[in-house]
């Protein structure tokens, strides 16, 4: 006997049919002579009914069932009586009157309920991941992730991209994040590195004339895990030849629109907003702005400059420092003194030494700093921040980086606390015109903001010698609701420009070749203009699934110690294995 339909697919259209379902017992209720069995599979839950008068043997089996037993039930689909219809589930109008109940396998009592929204310690869920994945919300997430990948592959294929697999056992490069290493048995003392990204290989594939490449590919970074990072993660990776920035952006907008429509049922308008990096920083204090709400940053430096509020006026007199504000609508009522103290602690996480505030009340300004300011100055602050009666203005003054980081984070924190975010919005935007370089105060030299193969804007090439910090790059990040989904750039494909870039980074020609010689050598043989992009698939899936953690969209994730709780990986291995690899553990 074979399954004829999935449990969750049954509905009133099947009334009158004899069906065979297979799945897990979610629940049984014994009403004496009649046993109701909720049977669950990937598609949903349906109610089966075993009636003592209908088939004694089946009834006996039904009596023996417990939660998570695996069963096969044959029966006729009948409408439920009107008072027992369950409108909450798609199968709620029908039930399967069992003529045959077969026990396929028994089950011990699971350590937690197999249902949505359980309140169970994540460690327990991860230890029994195979049961956690049996829960309907986890199944929904895994199905959605499959869909995203499938849609992406269809889209790229339709657009002439080839999915080409690149190696996992690669060469360790001496920069970037920490590599995972793999000792070679055949080459004693030598090591492979697991790839942090297929960057090098995909550029070589453009050189080899593959024209359009993509890959959904595992990448690895041995970093200390922050809350939502995984040592192994999945990248949606692409590269195109003979393109400019508009081409790459437009192909990716097409992908995103398709995914949003088919996975989330949302029509997003393309083209997306393109926001220069500088504007993103000035307005949102972030290169991944969440534009679902306002509360934009306002530069109030000129008001404080020379004012009686010495702390701020000293700061803003320095180059590269500023005093900026955000205006909280209705803050006077919404934010208590205690809240303001908490927010002050919050900005300190981002390096701010403190936070100033002004409550705009009916008759007066309530503020610890108002007494240091003239009427003209406070008027200017109100006007600049467009504050009205009832609003609260929050200020941070410091080096620009600290101001942006702290106010950028503060506005998101406030939006969450004050419930300002319309969760139905999907605000996609591109941040463009990133700086090519950033100055490293410790190393006293410029470093590449993205990587040393990122191309500068054509119009800024002349600045490379005169004012490198002002050179913008042909780099772009795609942002969704304040999350960076991915990023990319056009690459340098001209040897002279590449050498100029290395000079800017402080390399001699010899050093550049020692470090990047392998790619440089390849680039001599006819490199086409090319550029690309990479997405973090885990994060994209997390946002679309409305999950709180990327662990909820990964079948078998690792925890913060980079271990997998279920199988207990990594583990201690046999000494013989290590001997064969010519390594030993150092205590």
Q: Which of residues 2-61 bind its own copies (CB under 8 A)?
A: 2-3, 6, 22-24, 40-42
Give the shortest CB-70-to-its own copies separation in angstroms: 5
Q: Which residues is 359 bridged to in the sheet?
A: 366, 392
CB 357 within 8 A of CB 392: yes
Q: Report residue 206 as tokens.
A: 């453009």
Count interface residues toward its own copies (CB under 8 A).
122
Site track for its own copies across 480-499, x = CB under 8 A: -------------xx-----
Q: Which is nearer to its own copies, 183 or 506 (CB)?
A: 183
Under rule CB under 8 A, which residues in 503-522 are in contact with its own copies?
A: 518, 522
Please say whether the beta carbons of 30 and 5 come within 8 A.
no
> Do residues 7 and 21 lie in contact, with contact meaning Cβ atoms separated by under 8 Å?
yes
CB-wise, 60 or 190, nearer to its own copies?
Answer: 190
For the bound state, the minimum distance from the C-beta of residue 165 to its own copies, rounded and expressed in Å, comes to: 6
Output the smallest distance, CB 30 to its own copies, in A.
Answer: 20
Cβ proximity to its own copies: between 208 and 383 the closer is 208
Taking the C-alpha atoms of residue 302 and residue 299, their distance in angstroms, rounded to an integer, is: 8
227 binds its own copies (CB under 8 A): no
Q: Which is nearer to its own copies, 198 or 285 (CB)?
A: 198
Buried b (16+ CB within 10 A) or exposed e, 438-451: eeeeeeeebebbbe
| Per-residue binder mask for its own copies (CB under 8 A), 95-134, x = binder | ---------xxxxx-x-----------------xxxxxxx
Q: Which of 527, 531, 547, 528 is nearest to 539 (CA)?
A: 547
Q: Does the footprint of its own copies cover residue 539 (CB under 8 A)? A: no
CB 537, min distance to its own copies, A: 9
Smallest separation (angstroms) from its own copies to the CB of 437: 24
Ranges of beta strands (E only) in 209-367 are 212-220, 232-241, 273-276, 298-299, 321-328, 356-360, 365-366
Q: What is the footprint of its own copies within residues 132-151 (CB under 8 A)?
A: 132-134, 139, 142-143, 145-146, 149-150
- Nearer to its own copies by Cβ, of 198 and 435: the residue is 198
Within 410-439, which residues bind its own copies (CB under 8 A)?
none
Q: Does 345 bind its own copies (CB under 8 A)?
A: no
User: Smaller CB distance to its own copies: residue 388 or 579?
Assistant: 579
Number of Cα atoms under 13 Å in the Cβ half of residue 329: 9
Comparing CB distances to its own copies, the nearer of 3 and 348 is 3
Residue environment code for 46-78, b if the CB has 16+ CB neighbours within 10 A, otherwise e: bbbbbbeeebeebbebbeebebbbbbbbbbebe
Which residue, among 89, 121, 141, 96, has the nearest Cα to 3 in the 3D structure? 96
Angle (CA) 48-51-53 rounded to 5° is 155
The rounded distance, in Å, linking the Cα atoms of 398 and 402 is 6
Instruction: Name which position in 99, 172, 282, 311 contacts its own copies (CB under 8 A).
Output: 172
């Amino acid at each position: 006997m074979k399954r004829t339909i999935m449990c969750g697919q049954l509905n009133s259209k099947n009334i009158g049919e004899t069906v065979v379902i297979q799945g897990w017992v979610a629940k049984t209720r014994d009403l004496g002579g009649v046993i109701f069995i909720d049977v669950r599979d990937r598609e949903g839950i349906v109610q089966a009914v075993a009636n003592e008068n209908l088939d004694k043997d089946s009834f006996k089996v039904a009596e023996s069932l417990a939660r998570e037993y695996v069963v096969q039930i044959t029966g006729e689909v009948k409408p439920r009586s009107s008072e027992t219809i369950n409108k909450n589930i798609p199968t709620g109008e029908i039930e399967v009157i069992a003529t045959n109940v077969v026990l396929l396998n028994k089950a011990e009592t699971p350590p937690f309920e197999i249902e949505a929204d359980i309140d169970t310690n994540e460690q327990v869920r991860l230890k029994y991941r195979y049961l956690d994945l049996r829960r309907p919300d986890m199944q929904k997430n895994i199905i959605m992730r499959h869909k995203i990948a499938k849609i992406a592959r269809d889209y790229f294929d339709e657009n002439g991209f080839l999915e080409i697999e690149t190696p996992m056992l690669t060469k360790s490069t001496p920069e970037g994040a920490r590599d995972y290493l793999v000792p070679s048995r055949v080459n004693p003392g030598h090591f492979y590195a697991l790839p942090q990204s297929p960057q090098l290989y995909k550029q070589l594939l453009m050189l080899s004339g593959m024209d359009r490449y993509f890959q959904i590919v595992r990448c690895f970074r041995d970093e200390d895990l922050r809350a939502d990072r995984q040592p192994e993660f999945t990248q949606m990776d692409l590269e195109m030849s003979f393109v400019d920035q508009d081409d790459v952006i437009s192909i990716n907008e097409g992908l995103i629109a398709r995914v949003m429509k088919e996975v989330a049922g949302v029509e997003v308008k393309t083209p997306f907003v393109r926001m220069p990096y500088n504007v993103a920083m000035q307005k949102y204090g972030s290169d991944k702005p969440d534009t679902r709400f306002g509360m934009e940053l306002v530069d109030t430096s000129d008001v404080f400059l020379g004012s009686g509020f010495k702390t701020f006026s000293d700061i803003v007199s320095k180059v590269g420092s500023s005093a900026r504000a955000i205006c909280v609508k209705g803050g006077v009522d919404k934010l208590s003194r205690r809240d303001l103290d908490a927010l002050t602690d919050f900005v300190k996480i981002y390096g701010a030494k403190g936070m100033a505030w002004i409550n705009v009340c009916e008759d007066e300004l309530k503020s610890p700093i108002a007494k240091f300011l003239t009427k003209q100055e406070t008027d200017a602050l109100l006007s600049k921040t467009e504050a009205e009666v009832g609003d609260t203005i929050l200020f941070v003054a410091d080096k620009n980086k600290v101001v942006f980081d702290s106010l950028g984070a503060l506005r998101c924190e406030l939006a969450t606390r004050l419930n300002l975010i319309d969760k139905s919005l999907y605000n996609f935007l591109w941040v463009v015109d990133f700086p090519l370089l950033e100055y490293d105060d410790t190393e006293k030299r410029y470093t590449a903001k993205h990587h040393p193969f990122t191309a500068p804007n054509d119009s800024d090439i002349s600045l490379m010698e005169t004012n490198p910090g002002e050179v913008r790059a042909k780099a772009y990040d795609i942002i969704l609701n304040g999350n960076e989904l991915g990023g990319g750039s056009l690459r340098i494909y001209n040897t002279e420009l590449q050498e100029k870039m290395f000079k800017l980074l402080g390399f001699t020609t010899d050093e550049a070749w020692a470090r990047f010689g392998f790619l440089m050598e390849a680039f001599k043989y006819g490199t086409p203009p090319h550029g690309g992009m990479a997405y973090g698939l885990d994060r994209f899936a997390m946002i679309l699934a409305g999950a709180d953690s990327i662990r909820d969209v990964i079948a078998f994730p690792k925890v913060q110690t980079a271990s997998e709780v279920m199988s207990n990986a990594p583990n201690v291995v046999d000494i013989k294995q290590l001997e064969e690899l010519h390594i030993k553990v150092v205590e």
